[in-house]
Structure 1
């Protein structure tokens, strides 16, 4: 059951993700969650092992280059590099799992909508659904890359100016939240034949809910082990967002 909260609200967006977590325990969805979870586990162990290997070797190489009089800053370098790597890890984990598990996420969003609304949706042949869903996934990736390059240069400019440098993490977090919201709301929108452009317009009209929801997904995806379950919860939560708020947005 989706709680009734004010539309277009940060807290409402956060609640959609919580609803998504609660929906994971519904027995009607277990079969559709199992395959994405197995895929996530495989990617998680592979990516995490690779990250730790290169992080340790990379840090040893970097610290060897630090002059002796700056050795007292080593702890700060560990924190900064670790934070950057963790952010990259979260994005990379999302990108890989979303491409591989996209058809299963689309099916999970469909079954979630049927469970919540009590209305049966038209079934689509697997052979037709897989190319469509993967094509939509690639469209999202091109959108993220294209806009992301622009955001990257904005972040550089903000960082070069002392007075605006504190805005860098804020802008980066907002952009990350927006990307995560688009990524996981899109499955339900695609199932309902809402094109990518109109979907983004509806989400911009509900920017606070989108930010709250996407921010929760971003935080969960950056935490190892939790991120294994974060993606399916984001799909079910994004479907709740669609049903409650975006479906009726003109």
Structure 2
């Protein structure tokens, strides 16, 4: 492949992330986005609330009256620390919470993309919601097992890569290798949902992504960039699932048909 082909692959891959965003507003899709987002946001709000209560108690016990002015310095530090922790842990915890929803989101989007004119009878809404929660319950264990499998793959490569930071000379390029590895892992993370829904094993998923490596790097790189943008990182997970599903449908039609 020449340089232009590599650049085209990177550009196309990064574009799939942004193309996934409007898909989240399709009828019947929003529930897969809203419910895990509400759960995740509520969890962090409760943690911050109870953390603030404990922090206030700690200040009452530790600061004498004559140093009460220190509260005006310590509370902003607590707020900054809370934002910092939320920023970096939201996606990590969100992936675990959203894992059962993500497979169903990819499945629902695939059905929409394959048959865009399909619609459901409004009279079946109650049955539809019952089926939705039933599907969530059934997908919890397989989804968590899938996340553990990806975590094992991550650790087996992240630990040796992390050691490069300790080697003089080599540590100069270690940050760039880490960014590339992070982009690749994010491509694997989100491509797993549509590919796994079509029966592809984890090695098969990596094989297909490896055949279009620059496409995967472009997609994963844009996901990585989006996680660093305050505010947007709250919607990165469902947007990445939607983008990966669109990428799967458009870029791997033969694989999709062979596994259907």
Structure 1 residues 24, 100: closer, same or farther in 2, change over 3 A? same
Which one has the largest radius of gyration?
Answer: 2
Identify unmatched segments of 5+ residues in structure 1.
1-5, 51-81
Alignment partner of 1:189 is 2:206: no
Structure 1 residues 47, 202: closer, same or farther in 2, change over 3 A? farther
Give the whole-Å Cα distance in 2 for the aligned partners of 1:228 and 1:47.
17
Residue 102 of structure 1, aligned match among 99, 103, 123: 99
Using structure 2 for the length normalisation, give the TM-score: 0.69
Using structure 1 for the length normalisation, give the TM-score: 0.72
In the TM superposition, 1:100-179 aligns within 5 A as 100-118=97-115, 126=135, 127-157=137-167, 160-161=168-169, 164-179=170-185
Residue in 2 that maps onto 1:71: none
Residue 28 of structure 2 aligns to a residue whose secondary structure is helix
Identify unmatched segments of 5+ residues in structure 2.
52-79, 119-130
Equivalent pair of 2:191/2:248 in contact (CA under 8 Å): yes
Alignment partner of 1:39 is 2:39: yes
Question: What displacement does 1:217 show?
Answer: 0.8
Structure 1 residues 200, 33: closer, same or farther in 2, change over 3 A? same
Aligned residues: 206
Please state which structure has a larger fraction of its residues in helix. Answer: 2
Question: What displacement does 1:39 show?
Answer: 2.8
Question: What displacement does 1:134 show?
Answer: 1.4
Give the whole-Å Cα distance in 2 for the aligned partners of 1:101 and 1:218.
18
Residue 24 of structure 1 aligns to a residue whose secondary structure is helix
